[in-house]
Amino acid sequence: MNAPASTITAAPLAIVSTAAHDREWWREEADIEAEPTFADDAWSAHTRGRAAAATVEALVYGLRDGIEKLNHDRLRRLSELNEEQLRAVCERLQNFKPHIAPAWSPEEVEALAVIWSDLRHEAQSEHE
Query: DSSP character for 107?
Result: H
Per-residue pLDDT, 13: 47
Q: Is residue 21 part of a domain?
A: no
- Considering the domain boundaries, does residue 1 fall inside one? no
Angle, vertex CA 68, rays to CA 50 and CA 27, nearest 5: 55
Question: What pLDDT is recorded for position 47?
Answer: 47
Residues 6+ apart with CB under 8 A from 77: 51, 55, 56, 58, 59, 62
The answer to whether residue 16 is domain-embedded is no
User: By three-state DSSP, how is residue 50 classified?
Assistant: coil
Does residue 67 form part of some domain? Answer: yes
pLDDT grade for 123, boundaries at 50, 70 and 90: confident
- Mean per-residue pLDDT, 25-54: 59
Segment (H or E) for 127: helix 106-127
Please report whether residue 106 resides in a domain. Answer: yes
Query: Into how many domains does the chain fold?
Result: 1
In a domain, 102, yes or no: yes
Determine, yes or no, domain membership for 17: no
Q: For residue range 54-82, list pLDDT tens digits in order.
A: 999 999 999 999 999 999 999 999 999 99
With CA atoms as reference, report the closest residue to 89 among 119, 67, 121, 118: 67
Could you read off the pLDDT of 31-44 as tens digits, one per residue? 554 444 444 554 44
Global pTM?
Answer: 0.63
Give the pLDDT band (50/70/90) at residue 25.
low
Percentage of the chain beyond pLDDT 70 is 61
* 118: containing domain: 36-127
